[in-house]
Amino acid sequence: MKIFKLLHVIFILLFTHNSLIADDKIEHKIAVLVNEDIITSYDIIQRLKLTAIIQGKTLNSQNTQLMVNNVVDELIREKVKLSKINEYQIKIDDNEYEEFETNFFKRNNIKKDEVFNLLKENKINYQEFRKLLIGELSWNKLINGLFYRLTSTSDLEIDELIRKNPNLTNEQAESLIVQRQLDLQSSKLLRDMMNEATVEYK
């Protein structure tokens, strides 16, 4: 029941008079506790708007509740991931980040300037966007560090993948196979961590 109450509160905050841009008036109330880390109502609204911008969606009464639910789940997973990232002291330097950010815009086929203008118009701190990407990059770096040496490919796997995707080179096919294995390890590790996490909705 608490999750539905949370969604209702966020929904009201979003559609109350000018609340989408008047974030300075929104209280930073604790919405979720993940282990001992907090997620506030402000965090949720900032991420909700950021997600809408990245996905090119307009928030409305039909899609907001579902998006809030997805955003809350995403923030919870990020808190859980962060505990493991900190445990292994994963660090990201400026060059790594800049390259990842550039590739992010290319992968998603969106224009950097347009996104940054929308962030500014909607009073979303750039650091929110940067934090999102650094979290993703840090997790990828952690998974590679933990599991890359355990991956393997065979000629049979490579040939089969190229047969289904003739435009792939051997190197690309091998990279895709390795990435699939890393993705599986990532999902398993996160699932185990989520099962052990304590999540409390306020």
Look-up of token digits 């809030």: 68
**pLDDT the model gives residue 193:** 98
Percent of the chain predicted with pLDDT > 90 = 71
Q: What is the token pair recorded at 148?
A: 């890359």
Give the C-alpha separation, 41 to 31, whole Å.
6
**pLDDT the model gives residue 26:** 55
Give the C-alpha separation, 159 to 173, whole Å.
8
Give the C-alpha separation, 202 to 123, whole Å.
26
Burial (CB count within 10 angstroms: exposed 0-12, middle 13-18, buried 19+), residue 32:
buried
| Close Cβ partners of 181 (under 8 Å, ≥ 6 residues apart) | 147, 150, 151, 152
Give the C-alpha separation, 74 to 68, whole Å.
10
Angle between helix 126-147 and helix 64-87 axes, rounded to 10 deg: 50
**Residue 6: which pLDDT band, with cuts at 50, 70 and 90?**
low
**Residue 4: which pLDDT band, with cuts at 50, 70 and 90?**
very low
Convert the pLDDT of each residue in 94-132 to its tens digit: 999 999 999 999 999 999 999 999 999 988 989 999 999
Convert the pLDDT of each residue in 142-196 to its tens digit: 999 999 999 999 999 999 999 999 999 999 999 999 999 999 999 999 999 999 9
The identity of residue 165, as a single letter, is: N
User: Do the beta carbons of residue 147 and residue 182 sit within 8 Å?
Assistant: yes
Q: Name, of 5-9, 11-15, 87-91, the range with top average pLDDT.
A: 87-91
Q: Is pLDDT above 50 for 78?
A: yes
Give the C-alpha separation, 130 to 146, whole Å.
24
| Close Cβ partners of 48 (under 8 Å, ≥ 6 residues apart) | 10, 14, 59, 64, 67, 68, 71
In 88-169, alpha helices (H): 94-108, 112-121, 126-147, 155-164
Q: Is pLDDT above 60 for 11?
A: no
What are the respective helix, strand and coil percentages of the chain, to the nearest 5? 70, 5, 25
Enumerate domains of the chain plus CATH numbers: 2-148+174-201 (1.10.4030.10)
Query: Does the pTM of the predicted model rise above 0.95?
Result: no
92 vs 27, more confident: 92
140 vs 57, more confident: 140
Give the C-alpha separation, 200 to 202, whole Å.
6
25 vs 109, more confident: 109
